[in-house]
Structure 1
Amino acid sequence: MNLIELSPVGNFESWEIARLNEFRSEQFAKTLSQSPIYENDEFRLWNITLKPKERLPFRKITNDFSYTFLTEGFGVFHQGDGKINFGQFKKGDVYYYSIKKYGELILDFENISLEVLKFMVIELKTDS
């Protein structure tokens, strides 16, 4: 996975008005989709398929997670701190995010590929 920073932390000026308004409303999605394909006491497994220009809305992420890409493609991430990243993904690429190391994350994701983008997300549950 190759990430390129398009806009630095703190710069909301390059955001589209509709996306900025969505973010500022703080009506963040609770899940990645309607339901995980598998869940137990330790993790949730999500199977995500996004058509071109389709996106996952902003979500406040409080658990460690990893993405595994099943297809090649491109995407854009808008983060709650203003940062925008462009991602280039290859089949088999894995990305891991640690809440303990980097902190909670507010994030959306848009498929900007010309093809369908498929990936799996494993969301670790926190200890109760």
Structure 2
Amino acid sequence: MNLIELSPEGNFESWEISRLKELRAEEFSKELGQSMLYENDEFRLWDITLKHKERLTFRRVVNDFSYTCITDGFGVIHLGNGKIQFGQFKKGDICSFNMKENEELILDVENTGLGILKFIVTELKLK
């Protein structure tokens, strides 16, 4: 996986107005994917499957999570702090996030590639 910063933290000037309004409305999903594949007392397993130009709207993440790329592809990630990243994803890439207590991550992802962009997300339910 290769992430390139397109806009630094704190810079919202390059954001689309509609996306900025969505962020400011603070109506974030707590679901890390489009559909839950499995859940038990310890973790949830989510699917994200995005077609060309499809977008997963903003999510509020508070639990540790990791995602595995199931397909090669490209995407743009907007973070709640203003940062925008362009991602080149490779099948099999894994990325993990360890959230600190009282920390949250606000993000969305849009498929900017021509094919399907697919991830499996594992969310730990320790908090």
- Residues of 2 paired with 1:5 and 1:40: CA distance? 36
Matched residue, 1:83: 83
Deviation for aligned residue 1:30: 2.4
User: Which amino acid is 1:124 matched to?
Assistant: L
Task: Return the letter of the residue paired with 1:111.
Answer: N
Q: Secondary structure at the match of 1:46?
A: strand
RMSD of aligned C-alpha atoms? 1.3
In the alignment, residue 53 of structure 1 is paired with which amino acid? K
> How far off is 1:34 after superposition?
5.4
User: Does the 8 Å contact 1:52/1:116 carry over to 2?
Assistant: yes
Mapped partners of 1:19, 1:35: distance in 2: 22
1:32 to partner: Cα distance: 3.2
Rounded Cα–Cα distance in structure 1 between residues aligned with 2:89 and 2:80: 22
When normalised by structure 2's length, the TM-score is 0.94
Write out aligned runs for 1:1-128 (5 A). 1-33=1-33, 35-100=35-100, 103-127=103-127
Runs (4+) of structure 1 exceeding 3 A deviation are: 32-35
* Maintained 8 Å contact 2:79/2:106: yes
AA of the residue aligned to 2:63: N
Instruction: Return the offset for 1:33.
Output: 4.2
Q: CA–CA distance in 2 between the matches of 1:35 and 1:86? A: 24
What is the SS of the residue equivalent to 1:108? strand
Unmatched runs of 5 consecutive residues or more in structure 1: none
Q: Shift of the alpha carbon at 1:29?
A: 1.2
CA shift for structure 1 position 31? 1.1
Contact 1:32 1:56 in 2 (8 A): no
Structure 2, unaligned stretches of length 5 or more? none
Aligned residues: 126
Normalising by structure 1, what TM-score? 0.93
